[in-house]
Amino acid sequence: MTIESALRATRERLAQAEAAAGREAGSVRLLAVSKTFPAEAVREAAAAGQQCFGENYVQELATKAVELAELGLEWHFIGPLQSNKTRPVAECAHWVHSIDRLKIAERLSAQRPQNMPDLQVCLQVNVSGEASKSGVSPAEIPALAAAVAALPRLRLRGLMCIPEATDDLPRLREQLAVLPQLRTQLAEQGLALDTLSMGMSADLELAVACGSTLVRVGTAIFGGRTPRHPA
Protein backbone atom coordinates (compact mmCIF):
# COMPACT_ATOMS: atom_id res chain seq x y z
CA MET A 1 0.00 0.00 0.00
CA THR A 2 1.31 3.42 -0.90
CA ILE A 3 1.49 6.24 1.63
CA GLU A 4 -1.18 8.06 -0.35
CA SER A 5 -3.60 5.13 -0.17
CA ALA A 6 -2.78 4.51 3.49
CA LEU A 7 -3.52 8.15 4.26
CA ARG A 8 -6.83 7.90 2.42
CA ALA A 9 -7.77 4.78 4.40
CA THR A 10 -6.78 6.45 7.69
CA ARG A 11 -8.86 9.53 6.90
CA GLU A 12 -11.81 7.27 6.14
CA ARG A 13 -11.34 5.51 9.49
CA LEU A 14 -11.24 8.86 11.24
CA ALA A 15 -14.39 10.08 9.49
CA GLN A 16 -16.21 6.87 10.40
CA ALA A 17 -15.04 7.18 14.02
CA GLU A 18 -16.32 10.76 14.19
CA ALA A 19 -19.70 9.71 12.80
CA ALA A 20 -19.97 6.71 15.13
CA ALA A 21 -19.23 8.93 18.14
CA GLY A 22 -21.70 11.61 17.06
CA ARG A 23 -18.84 14.05 16.52
CA GLU A 24 -18.84 16.79 13.92
CA ALA A 25 -17.06 15.81 10.70
CA GLY A 26 -13.53 17.17 10.67
CA SER A 27 -13.49 17.88 14.40
CA VAL A 28 -10.52 15.55 15.02
CA ARG A 29 -7.16 16.44 13.49
CA LEU A 30 -4.87 13.80 12.00
CA LEU A 31 -1.20 14.02 12.96
CA ALA A 32 1.01 11.80 10.80
CA VAL A 33 3.82 10.43 12.98
CA SER A 34 6.82 10.23 10.69
CA LYS A 35 9.50 9.28 13.24
CA THR A 36 12.27 7.04 11.82
CA PHE A 37 10.96 7.48 8.28
CA PRO A 38 12.98 9.47 5.73
CA ALA A 39 12.15 12.94 4.54
CA GLU A 40 11.02 11.47 1.23
CA ALA A 41 8.19 9.62 3.00
CA VAL A 42 7.08 12.90 4.56
CA ARG A 43 7.26 14.54 1.16
CA GLU A 44 5.04 11.79 -0.27
CA ALA A 45 2.47 12.26 2.50
CA ALA A 46 2.56 16.03 2.00
CA ALA A 47 1.88 15.53 -1.71
CA ALA A 48 -1.22 13.57 -0.66
CA GLY A 49 -2.45 16.57 1.34
CA GLN A 50 -1.08 15.90 4.83
CA GLN A 51 0.31 19.03 6.49
CA CYS A 52 0.87 18.09 10.15
CA PHE A 53 3.68 15.72 11.14
CA GLY A 54 4.87 14.38 14.49
CA GLU A 55 8.45 13.54 15.47
CA ASN A 56 9.81 11.83 18.61
CA TYR A 57 13.52 12.59 18.28
CA VAL A 58 14.99 16.08 18.45
CA GLN A 59 17.68 15.69 15.79
CA GLU A 60 15.26 14.02 13.38
CA LEU A 61 12.77 16.86 13.83
CA ALA A 62 15.43 19.53 13.28
CA THR A 63 16.85 17.82 10.18
CA LYS A 64 13.49 17.24 8.50
CA ALA A 65 12.23 20.74 9.33
CA VAL A 66 15.19 22.23 7.47
CA GLU A 67 15.20 19.75 4.59
CA LEU A 68 11.46 20.16 3.96
CA ALA A 69 11.17 23.85 4.82
CA GLU A 70 9.81 24.80 1.41
CA LEU A 71 6.69 22.66 1.99
CA GLY A 72 5.47 24.84 4.87
CA LEU A 73 4.61 21.86 7.06
CA GLU A 74 3.42 22.00 10.68
CA TRP A 75 5.82 20.14 12.99
CA HIS A 76 4.75 18.59 16.30
CA PHE A 77 7.30 17.25 18.78
CA ILE A 78 5.65 14.37 20.63
CA GLY A 79 8.50 12.48 22.32
CA PRO A 80 10.23 12.77 25.69
CA LEU A 81 12.22 16.00 25.87
CA GLN A 82 15.39 16.47 27.91
CA SER A 83 16.21 19.92 29.23
CA ASN A 84 19.53 20.04 27.35
CA LYS A 85 17.77 19.44 24.01
CA THR A 86 15.01 22.03 24.16
CA ARG A 87 16.61 24.69 21.95
CA PRO A 88 16.24 22.93 18.55
CA VAL A 89 12.62 22.15 19.41
CA ALA A 90 11.94 25.74 20.46
CA GLU A 91 13.45 26.94 17.20
CA CYS A 92 11.68 24.70 14.70
CA ALA A 93 8.56 23.07 16.17
CA HIS A 94 5.07 24.54 15.99
CA TRP A 95 3.71 22.27 18.75
CA VAL A 96 5.13 20.31 21.69
CA HIS A 97 2.84 17.63 23.16
CA SER A 98 5.11 16.15 25.80
CA ILE A 99 5.72 18.77 28.50
CA ASP A 100 5.91 16.92 31.81
CA ARG A 101 7.71 19.40 34.07
CA LEU A 102 7.95 23.14 34.46
CA LYS A 103 11.69 23.30 33.73
CA ILE A 104 11.10 22.07 30.18
CA ALA A 105 8.38 24.67 29.59
CA GLU A 106 10.55 27.44 31.01
CA ARG A 107 13.43 26.56 28.69
CA LEU A 108 11.15 26.39 25.65
CA SER A 109 9.70 29.77 26.60
CA ALA A 110 13.14 31.36 26.99
CA GLN A 111 14.51 29.83 23.78
CA ARG A 112 11.54 30.48 21.49
CA PRO A 113 12.72 33.01 18.86
CA GLN A 114 11.02 36.37 19.12
CA ASN A 115 10.21 36.41 15.40
CA MET A 116 8.20 33.18 15.61
CA PRO A 117 4.58 32.71 16.74
CA ASP A 118 3.98 31.38 20.24
CA LEU A 119 4.83 27.70 20.62
CA GLN A 120 1.64 25.66 21.05
CA VAL A 121 2.03 23.20 23.92
CA CYS A 122 0.28 20.30 25.63
CA LEU A 123 0.99 18.72 29.00
CA GLN A 124 1.61 14.97 29.02
CA VAL A 125 -0.49 13.09 31.57
CA ASN A 126 0.46 9.64 32.84
CA VAL A 127 -3.05 8.17 32.80
CA SER A 128 -1.99 4.56 33.42
CA GLY A 129 0.28 5.13 36.42
CA GLU A 130 3.02 3.06 34.78
CA ALA A 131 6.48 3.94 36.05
CA SER A 132 7.87 3.42 32.56
CA LYS A 133 5.63 6.12 31.08
CA SER A 134 6.50 9.80 30.85
CA GLY A 135 4.02 12.39 32.02
CA VAL A 136 2.75 13.83 35.28
CA SER A 137 0.02 12.39 37.44
CA PRO A 138 -3.49 13.79 36.99
CA ALA A 139 -3.27 15.31 40.49
CA GLU A 140 -0.25 17.39 39.44
CA ILE A 141 -1.81 18.80 36.29
CA PRO A 142 -3.69 21.84 37.74
CA ALA A 143 -0.56 23.38 39.27
CA LEU A 144 1.61 22.64 36.24
CA ALA A 145 -1.04 23.99 33.85
CA ALA A 146 -1.31 27.26 35.76
CA ALA A 147 2.47 27.72 35.75
CA VAL A 148 2.90 26.89 32.05
CA ALA A 149 -0.03 29.10 31.01
CA ALA A 150 1.72 32.07 32.63
CA LEU A 151 4.92 31.72 30.57
CA PRO A 152 5.59 34.07 27.63
CA ARG A 153 6.10 32.75 24.09
CA LEU A 154 4.05 29.62 24.86
CA ARG A 155 0.34 28.97 24.44
CA LEU A 156 -1.10 26.15 26.51
CA ARG A 157 -3.49 24.30 24.19
CA GLY A 158 -4.24 20.99 25.83
CA LEU A 159 -3.33 17.60 27.25
CA MET A 160 -1.69 14.50 25.80
CA CYS A 161 -1.57 10.88 26.95
CA ILE A 162 -0.30 7.47 25.95
CA PRO A 163 -2.53 4.87 27.61
CA GLU A 164 -1.49 1.40 28.65
CA ALA A 165 -0.83 -1.09 25.87
CA THR A 166 -3.71 -3.46 26.57
CA ASP A 167 -6.63 -5.13 24.83
CA ASP A 168 -8.81 -4.49 27.87
CA LEU A 169 -11.21 -1.93 26.34
CA PRO A 170 -12.92 -0.89 29.60
CA ARG A 171 -9.49 -0.26 31.11
CA LEU A 172 -8.42 1.75 28.07
CA ARG A 173 -11.64 3.75 28.09
CA GLU A 174 -11.14 4.54 31.77
CA GLN A 175 -7.64 5.85 31.10
CA LEU A 176 -8.66 7.90 28.06
CA ALA A 177 -11.52 9.44 30.05
CA VAL A 178 -8.99 11.10 32.35
CA LEU A 179 -8.14 13.82 29.82
CA PRO A 180 -11.68 15.16 29.25
CA GLN A 181 -12.19 15.14 33.02
CA LEU A 182 -9.02 17.15 33.54
CA ARG A 183 -9.98 19.61 30.80
CA THR A 184 -13.27 20.27 32.60
CA GLN A 185 -11.40 20.74 35.88
CA LEU A 186 -8.98 23.19 34.27
CA ALA A 187 -11.81 25.15 32.67
CA GLU A 188 -13.24 25.65 36.15
CA GLN A 189 -9.96 27.27 37.20
CA GLY A 190 -10.04 29.59 34.18
CA LEU A 191 -7.86 27.63 31.74
CA ALA A 192 -9.74 26.91 28.51
CA LEU A 193 -8.05 24.12 26.56
CA ASP A 194 -9.12 23.02 23.08
CA THR A 195 -6.83 20.05 22.41
CA LEU A 196 -6.86 16.46 23.67
CA SER A 197 -4.02 14.61 21.97
CA MET A 198 -4.84 10.93 22.34
CA GLY A 199 -5.30 7.95 20.09
CA MET A 200 -2.91 6.12 17.78
CA SER A 201 -3.16 3.57 14.98
CA ALA A 202 -4.52 0.79 17.20
CA ASP A 203 -7.01 2.76 19.34
CA LEU A 204 -8.05 5.63 17.07
CA GLU A 205 -11.77 4.83 17.20
CA LEU A 206 -11.92 4.47 20.97
CA ALA A 207 -9.98 7.71 21.46
CA VAL A 208 -12.39 9.63 19.23
CA ALA A 209 -15.32 8.17 21.16
CA CYS A 210 -13.66 9.37 24.38
CA GLY A 211 -13.25 12.94 23.15
CA SER A 212 -9.90 13.14 21.36
CA THR A 213 -9.41 16.20 19.16
CA LEU A 214 -6.10 15.03 17.65
CA VAL A 215 -4.93 11.50 16.86
CA ARG A 216 -1.26 10.60 16.36
CA VAL A 217 -1.05 7.95 13.63
CA GLY A 218 2.19 6.49 12.34
CA THR A 219 2.08 2.78 11.55
CA ALA A 220 -1.25 2.90 9.70
CA ILE A 221 0.17 5.57 7.38
CA PHE A 222 3.87 4.77 6.98
CA GLY A 223 3.98 1.06 7.90
CA GLY A 224 5.99 -0.76 10.56
CA ARG A 225 9.14 0.73 12.05
CA THR A 226 12.59 -0.60 12.80
CA PRO A 227 13.28 0.15 16.48
CA ARG A 228 16.01 2.71 17.04
CA HIS A 229 17.57 4.74 19.81
CA PRO A 230 17.40 8.54 19.89
CA ALA A 231 20.42 10.27 18.46
Fold of domain 3-222: TIM Barrel (3.20.20)
Helix residue spans in 21-84 (DSSP H): 39-47, 58-67
Distance CA 59, CA 229 (A): 12
Checking DSSP bridges between strand 95-99 and strand 52-55, what pairing results, if any?
Answer: unpaired
Burial of residue 65 (CB within 10 Å: 0-12, 13-18, 19+) is: buried
Q: How many CB atoms lie within 10 A of CB 165?
A: 10
With CA atoms as reference, report the closest residue to 122 among 28, 177, 197, 179: 197
Residue 131 has what pLDDT? 87
Delimit the domains of the chain by residue range.
3-222
Residue 226 has what pLDDT? 59
Q: Which residues of the chain carry a pLDDT beneath 50?
A: 229-231
Residue 224 has what pLDDT? 84
**Structural contact between residues 163 and 176, judged by C-beta atoms closer than 8 angstroms:** yes
Distance CA 118, CA 187 (A): 21
Residue 132 has what pLDDT? 86
